[in-house]
Amino acid sequence: MCGIVGLFLKDKALEPKLGAMLSEMLVSLSDRGPDSAGIAIYGAASGNEAKITVQSPKPERDFRGLDIELAKAIGAPVGVAVKSTHAVIRTTPDKVDAAREALQSLRPDIRIMGAGEAVEIYKEVGLPEAVVDRFDVRSMTGTHGIGHTRMATESAVTRMGAHPFSTGADQCLVHNGSLSNHNNVRRELIRDGMTFETENDTEVAAAYLSNRMAHGKNLGEALEGTLSDLDGFFTFVVGTKNGFGVVRDPIACKPAVMAETDQYVAFGSEYRALTKLPGIDNARVWEPEPATVYFWEH
């Protein structure tokens, strides 16, 4: 099964409530997937700061003194904000690659959840309620976000197998479904220089989109490509620095409902996820068409 949600705000007045709204949407779909949950929130990008969200199995050990050691290793200022098992590392945009490399030797057990100017990604094993509480997602502000609650089918129930998957700067993806040609596509992407953290099918979809966009496609064109190049069942919801997209495979057996008002565009696996959004009773509510790309950009 799995449950997925997405929320793209048009009205700036709602931005302080993004985390609360998205959390509410995700928690309402808890019975679609109790294994793990995750959320990606896009805050305002300042242009002179990059964020790397990292996770550690031993946060007390790994995050202690990390700011000072990392700053020394990359020769740039570093801030570390710890949230439970995750931490958001802030540095200058030109030092992201150096920081990734330095982290490998300074803290070999740390895993990178995602990086970019706007995105922060939090994911853990457990129910959505526990995950959003653990990371205090309800208090987060932002422009758009996506979330996922997982019922695992294609790979193990682990933190690294939880969604969203991020395979490029400020890019991430959540997926309901299962891909059948992910091993082939993964091999092709590896030949083209992409790297993978897991055996998970969804990570392949995320990497496919990152790869297409690295080759100059926009989000819409990259999503269009999934229809011919990925085989299997999928409803994808995708976030980029300033955009939000949705696509379903041509069979479209994985459920999807969308709602749009002057204030937001929202996606839910089911209508239940949308019932508490402001103005939902008068929103345009529809089921996205199969094999049709929808995307919005700020």
Partner 1 sequence: MPATTMSKAEREQGHARVFDLSEHSLRELNQALHKLAPGSNETAWEVLNPKGSHSVAVGVDQPVTIDVRGSVGYYCAGMNDGAAITVHGSAGPGVGENMMSGSIVIKGDASQYAGATGRGGLLVIEGNASSRCGISMKGIDIVVHGNIGHMSAFMAQSGNLVVLGDAGDALGDSIYEARLFVRGKVESLGADCIAKEMRPEHIELLQGLLDKAGVTGVKASEFKRYGSARKLYNFNIDNADAY
Residue ranges with strand state E in the chain: 3-9, 36-42, 50-55, 79-83, 86-91, 111-116, 119-125, 144-150, 165-168, 171-179, 232-239, 243-248, 257-260, 264-268, 284-286, 294-297
Nearer to partner 1, 77 or 250 (CB): 250
Question: In angstroms, what is the minimal distance from the CB of 270 to partner 1?
Answer: 5
Contact in structure between 234 and 205 (CB atoms under 8 Å): yes
Nearer to partner 1, 73 or 257 (CB): 257
Q: Under 8 Å CB-to-CB from 267, ≥6 apart: which residues? A: 4, 5, 6, 7, 237, 246, 256, 257, 258
Local structure of 16: helix, strand or coil: helix
Contact by Cβ (8 Å): 214, 143 = no
Residues within window 266-295 making contact with partner 1, judged by CB under 8 A: 270-275, 281-282, 285-287, 289-290
**Contact string (CB under 8 A) for partner 1, positions 196-235, x = contact:** ----------------------------------------
Nearer to partner 1, 71 or 259 (CB): 259
Residues acting as catalytic residues: 2
- How is residue 47 written in tokens? 């242009």
Euclidean distance between CA atoms 200 and 185, whole angstroms = 12
Least separation in angstroms between CB 69 and partner 1 = 49
**What single-letter DSSP state applies at residue 152?**
-
To partner 1, the closest distance from the beta carbon of 111 in angstroms equals 35
Which residue, 49 or 287, has its beta carbon nearer to partner 1? 287
**Residue 252 touches partner 1, criterion: CB under 8 A:** yes
- Exactly one of 57, 58, 253, 298 binds partner 1 (CB under 8 A); that residue is 253
What is the nearest approach in angstroms of partner 1 to the Cβ of residue 133?
Answer: 23
**If binding means CB under 8 A, how many residues of this protein chain bind partner 1?**
19
Span near partner 1 by CB under 8 A; candidates 40-48, 126-134, 171-179, 250-258: 250-258
- List contacts with partner 1 (CB under 8 A): 250-253, 255, 257, 270-275, 281-282, 285-287, 289-290
